[in-house]
Amino acid sequence: MHGNKGVSILDNGPLWKSQRKFGLKNIRGIGLERKGVDSCVNDEVPFLLESLQATGGKAFDILSILAKASCNVLCSVMLGKRYEYDDDTLCRLVKIFSDVYHSSFDNFSLQMFVFAPKSIYIYPFSQSYKKMEKLLEDFEEIINKVITEHEEAFDKEHPRDLMDAFLKIMKEGKDKNFDMEQLRMYIRDIFEGGIETTTNTLNWSLICLLHYPEIQTKLREEIREIVGQSGSVKMSHKDDMPYTNAFIEENLRFVTSTPLGFQHKTNQDAEINGYVIPKDTTVTTNIWAVHNDPKYFDEPEKFKPERFIDEKGNFIKSEHVIAFSVGGRRCMGEHLGRMEIFIFLVSMIQRFEILPDPESKIPDLNVGFNGQTFFPYPYKLIFQEI
């Protein structure tokens, strides 16, 4: 499917290691002319708030606005540019990567991969695969245009963004794994890993706020005290906001947006806790089970941000909140994803009262579409300017 290219689908080995190292360095922007990763997030905030303001206090579906904001952050980080929210390229990118999850990595295909791994060989004949191929052709058309623009403006002394950094290694010819096909797959994997997950996490956190207006009030009080009524939110505020941190952590735990992580396979026989796992077995992490284990979380079925606050009022992180998974294959974009969630969420709560649509029921927090990700069914809410 990915032809052993990209990063998320690669077997553990030297290729994956070098590609992951490249990603971790260049997502953060180390050695690039591009602005820092936090500025890529901060610069998106006014556009996000403006499009929320434009809803004029009427009920609307927020999904595409959140997805465009998340997608634009990745475009800034990787391609050195962002798009207007009505730009055709941004709309196409958002649609491609939402459809990849919503129609191709659906529940049925996922269960087949986990419980009947050999089904991967018949997957190319399925309707889901055909849909995916069509979507990815559209993606290649977009990304080829951006690659051409980058090649035309390329200056090896001044790499601007992740794509330039990749082209630099490729042109130097020191590592033959850095080729054009790998560049396309790399960008694709990051979009695939970064848009849907961040959008879903933000979307579920807004639904939590609809269910618990008292929590929303408490969050706004803390935001007003630390950031002010109109000041811009910075990552440096985070350490002084224990309740906001606790809310975000509880949201990551309570609504596990990637319940089974990504699937991997063992490349040698292994033994864990006395269980023998033969070579070539599909392995999946049950993140949901850890998040709902009463051994680690008292009354796991209840939404309680306070569980992460100690008696002195400090935020206490739990090693059992593993929404980004654990180990060598844990999420490559955790740092960026956490930044987006904090800055976007705080900015939205600071400026707007988030209210349910009186015409419809607030979505249940444990009912949604289950596929590679767990996401809410379409719903509407109201953003009332304060």
Applying CB under 6 A, the residues found at the interface with ligand HEM are 7-8, 20, 27, 189-190, 193-194, 197-198, 201, 257-258, 261-262, 285, 323-325, 329-333, 336-337
CB of 56 to ligand HEM, least distance (A): 29
Nearer residue to ligand HEM within complex by CB, 55 or 247? 247
Tell me how far, at minimum, the Cβ of 228 lies from ligand HEM, in Å: 26
304 Cβ contact list (under 8 Å, min separation 6): 250
Cβ nearer to ligand HEM, comparing 227 with 321: 321
Quick one: 8 or 55, whose CB is closer to ligand HEM?
A: 8
Q: How far is the CB of 360 from ligand HEM (least distance, A)?
A: 26
**Which residue in the shown chain puts its C-beta closest to ligand HEM?**
333
CA 210 centroid distance within chain: 22
Distance between CA 151 and CA 160 in Å, rounded? 12
Query: With contact defined as beta carbons under 8 Å apart, do 240 and 355 qualify?
Result: no
Q: How far is the CB of 134 from ligand HEM (least distance, A)?
A: 23
Are 347 and 45 in contact by the 8 Å Cβ rule? The answer is yes
CA distance 257 to 313: 28
User: Shortest gap between Cβ of 169 and ligand HEM (angstroms)?
Assistant: 18
Core vs surface per residue 113-144: b (16+ CB within 10 A) or e: beeeeeeeeeeeeeebeebbeebbeebeebbe
CB nearer ligand HEM, residue 109 or residue 198: 198
Nearer to ligand HEM by Cβ, of 224 and 335: the residue is: 335
Nearer to ligand HEM among residue 55 and residue 308 (C-beta): 308
Closer by beta carbon to ligand HEM, 182 or else 198: 198
Place of tokens 């994997």: 189
**Residue 84: CB minimum distance to ligand HEM, A:** 21
Gap between the Cα atoms of 316 and 307, Å rounded: 9
| 226 Cβ contact partners less than 8 Å away, ≥ 6 residues apart | 237, 240, 241
Contacts of 179-182 with C-beta under 8 Å, sequence gap 24+, read 180/147, 181/3, 181/5, 182/5, 182/6, 182/19
Q: Minimum distance between the CB of residue 332 and ligand HEM, rounded to whole angstroms?
A: 4
